[in-house]
Amino acid sequence: MSDRQSPNVAVLIDTENVSAGYADRLFDQIASIGCATVRRGYGDFTGLWSAAWAKAFERHAITPRQQFSAGRGKNSADIALVIDAMDLLNQGAIGAICLVSGDSDFTPLALRIREQGVPLYGYGNAKSPERLRNACKKFTYLENMGFRSQPLPWRSSLTSPRPLQEAASLLRRAIAHAAIRDGWALIGEVELQLVRMGPDFDPRGYGVDSLLELVRRTRKFDVDLRDDTGPRLRLKRKASKQSGSADN
């Protein structure tokens, strides 16, 4: 993506609910969205636990937004993040927002960002509420991104791959929507449709690294490898005869 096409992105991190061990791969992925001109981390950094985030702040030029804890059950950091997000929306200089948290308290904010027409990319754990996930243009499970430090207790929730039967059902629907001619659909269009159907769709949740590998694992679809348009997909047909370029 060229600089002219790349939007300015605001990255807002709820450090009290996300481990610093994800920071490197998080910013690697955000780079594909646009230029992260705003990078802020929210929390009370007076505790010993904040040492890891201090290193991440330095490495990725993240601005810490210190919020002293007002007591047990208080969410001062969450409120500060919401205020900043609304200010950024009103300023109109941000083309996309990355919300790094799975906290259900941010669901109203996510819905408001979507209503404003600003693309929202969410990053959270497996326990992130469905309503929050579906308010995002794309939601990524942090567990699928890999971890470079001590794992959190809830990380084990995504260690078992989702069933391929589920993937086949989703792919069948996505291909039906994206098909152009003779049941064939470009893999890029299929991927876009899958994300529209479920913002948290990710091939890594099924134990593979790419959509093409997932398609092949299901053994339910024909794959036509083309140099001009990229791979095409369609539901396998009985007695289907593929050309020499097809990969069954």
Alpha carbons 96 and 89: distance in angstroms, whole number: 9
Q: What is the pLDDT of residues 175-206, one digit of tens each?
A: 998 888 889 999 989 988 888 888 888 898 89
Evaluate whether residue 246 is within a structural domain. Answer: no
Residues 45 and 106 in one domain: yes
Pair (24, 136) in one structural domain: yes
**Cβ-Cβ contacts under 8 Å for 110 (sequence gap 6 or more):** 99, 120, 122, 132, 135, 136
Judge whether 212 and 187 are in contact, CB under 8 Å: yes
**Angle of the 211-218 helix axis to the 164-178 helix axis, nearest 10:** 110
- Specify whether 46 is located in the same domain as 111: yes
Domain finish residue from 117, 142, 157: 157
Does 26 fall in a domain? yes
Q: Are residues 143 and 175 in the same domain?
A: no
The answer on 173 and 132 residing in a single domain is no
CA–CA separation, 158 and 227 (whole Å): 35
pLDDT tens digits, 25-58: 899 889 889 999 999 999 988 865 678 899 999 9
Whether 36 and 9 have beta carbons less than 8 Å apart is answered as: yes
pLDDT at 209: 87
pLDDT in tens, 73-121: 458 889 999 999 999 999 999 999 999 999 999 999 999 999 999 999 9
The domain in which residue 181 lies consists of 164-234
Task: Tally the domains of the chain.
Answer: 2
Domain boundary among 134, 157, 180: 157
